[in-house]
Amino acid sequence: MIGVFDSGVGGLSVVRHLLERFNADIIYLGDTARLPYGTKSAQTVVKYSLQNAEFLAEKGVDAIVVACNTASSVALDALKQAFDLPVFGVIEPAAKKAAEYGNVCVIGTESTISSNAYKKAIKKININTHVTQLACPLFVPLVESGWIDNEITYQVAQRYIGHVQCDAMILGCTHYPLLKRVLKSIKPVVMIDSGEALAEALQSHKDLFAGSGRLECYTTDAHRKFAEMGRIFLGSAFNGVKHIDLTSEGGDG
Amino acid sequence: MIGVFDSGVGGLSVVRHLLERFNADIIYLGDTARLPYGTKSAQTVVKYSLQNAEFLAEKGVDAIVVACNTASSVALDALKQAFDLPVFGVIEPAAKKAAEYGNVCVIGTESTISSNAYKKAIKKININTHVTQLACPLFVPLVESGWIDNEITYQVAQRYIGHVQCDAMILGCTHYPLLKRVLKSIKPVVMIDSGEALAEALQSHKDLFAGSGRLECYTTDAHRKFAEMGRIFLGSAFNGVKHIDLTSEGGDG
Residue B250's pLDDT band (boundaries 50, 70, 90)?
very low
| pLDDT at res. A249 | 40
Alpha-carbon gap: B188 to the closest alpha carbon of chain A (Å)? 23
Residue-range domain boundaries for chain A = 2-89+198-243, 92-194
Residue A250's pLDDT band (boundaries 50, 70, 90)?
very low
- SS3 (DSSP) at A242: strand
The answer, for A223 touching chain B at a CB cutoff of 8 Å, is yes
A166 labelled catalytic: no
Averaged pLDDT for residues A134-154: 93
Q: Which of A46, A12, A16 is nearest to A28 (CA)?
A: A12
Q: Which of B159, B157, B152 is nearest to B179 (CA)?
A: B157
Residue pair A103/A165 in contact (Cβ under 8 Å)? The answer is yes
Cα distance between residue A247 and residue B33, in whole Å: 12
Same fold, A2-89+198-243 and A92-194: yes
B105 labelled catalytic: no
* Tens of pLDDT, residues B50-107: 999 999 999 999 999 999 999 999 999 999 999 999 999 999 999 999 999 999 999 9
Between B205 and A232, whose confidence is greater? B205
Residue A248's pLDDT band (boundaries 50, 70, 90)?
low
Is the pLDDT at B10 greater than 70, yes or no?
Answer: yes
The answer, for A31 touching chain B at a CB cutoff of 8 Å, is no
Q: Which of A203, A195, A201 is nearest to A96 (CA)?
A: A201
Distance linking the first and last C-alpha atoms of chain A: 26
Q: Which of B25, B115, B10 is nearest to B68 (CA)?
A: B10
Using CB atoms, pick whichever of B222, B247, B248 lies closest to residue A41. B222
| pLDDT at res. B248 | 59
Is the pLDDT at B172 greater than 70, yes or no?
Answer: yes
Please judge whether B33 and A34 are an interchain contact, meaning their C-beta atoms are less than 8 angstroms apart.
yes
pTM of the model: 0.89
Write out chain B residues lying below 8 Å of A247, CB-based: 34, 47-48, 247, 252-253
Residue B11's pLDDT band (boundaries 50, 70, 90)?
very high
Is the pLDDT at A14 greater than 50, yes or no?
Answer: yes
Give the DSSP H or E segment for B242. strand B242-243
Using CB atoms, pick whichever of A44, A141, A220 lies closest to residue B222. A44
> How high does pLDDT run on average in chain B?
93
Residue B223's pLDDT band (boundaries 50, 70, 90)?
low
| pLDDT at res. B251 | 37
Write out chain A residues lying below 8 Å of B247, CB-based: 34, 47-48, 247, 252-253
Please judge whether B155 and A159 are an interchain contact, meaning their C-beta atoms are less than 8 angstroms apart.
no
Cα distance between residue B100 and residue A217, in whole Å: 48
The answer, for B158 touching chain A at a CB cutoff of 8 Å, is no
Task: State the best of A54, A151, A223 to mutate against chain B, taking most chain B CBs within 10 Å.
Answer: A223
DSSP B10: T
Residue A253's pLDDT band (boundaries 50, 70, 90)?
very low
Averaged pLDDT for residues B204-228: 89
Selected catalytic residue, list A105, A136, A166, A173: A173
Please judge whether A223 and B40 are an interchain contact, meaning their C-beta atoms are less than 8 angstroms apart.
yes
Report the half-sphere exposure of A37 (CA within 13 A, side-chain side). 36
* Tens of pLDDT, residues A80-138: 999 999 999 999 999 999 999 999 999 999 889 999 999 999 999 999 999 999 999 99
**Which of 3.40.50.2300, 3.90.700.10, 3.40.50.1860, 3.40.980.10 would CATH assign to domain A92-194?**
3.40.50.1860
| pLDDT at res. A38 | 86
DSSP A38: T
Give the helix ranges, DSSP H, for A145-242: 151-161, 180-186, 194-201, 206-209, 225-234
* Tens of pLDDT, residues A190-201: 999 999 999 999
Alpha-carbon gap: B143 to the closest alpha carbon of chain A (Å)? 10
Selected catalytic residue, list B68, B136, B166, B217: B68
DSSP B235: G
Residue A161's pLDDT band (boundaries 50, 70, 90)?
very high
| pLDDT at res. B252 | 37
CA distances from B219 to B27, B79, B154, B186 (A): 11, 20, 31, 35
Please judge whether B137 and A141 are an interchain contact, meaning their C-beta atoms are less than 8 angstroms apart.
yes
The answer, for A32 touching chain B at a CB cutoff of 8 Å, is yes
- The interface predicted TM-score of the complex, written ipTM, equals 0.85
Alpha-carbon gap: B22 to the closest alpha carbon of chain A (Å)? 33
Cα distance between residue B69 and residue B100, in whole Å: 21
The answer, for B165 touching chain A at a CB cutoff of 8 Å, is no
Selected catalytic residue, list B136, B166, B173, B217: B173
Using CB atoms, pick whichever of A43, A247, A253 lies closest to residue B249. A253
Cα distance between residue B79 and residue A4, in whole Å: 36
| pLDDT at res. A223 | 66
The answer, for B49 touching chain A at a CB cutoff of 8 Å, is no
The CATH fold assigned to B2-89+198-243 is Rossmann fold (3.40.50)
Is the pLDDT at B222 greater than 80, yes or no?
Answer: no
Q: Which of A36-45, A236-245, B190-199, B203-212 has the highest mean pLDDT?
A: B190-199
Please judge whether A138 and B137 are an interchain contact, meaning their C-beta atoms are less than 8 angstroms apart.
no
The answer, for A253 touching chain B at a CB cutoff of 8 Å, is yes
- Tally of helices (H runs) and strands (E runs) in chain B: 12, 10
- SS3 (DSSP) at B176: helix
Please judge whether B141 and A138 are an interchain contact, meaning their C-beta atoms are less than 8 angstroms apart.
yes
* Tens of pLDDT, residues A214-228: 999 999 997 678 888
The answer, for B44 touching chain A at a CB cutoff of 8 Å, is yes
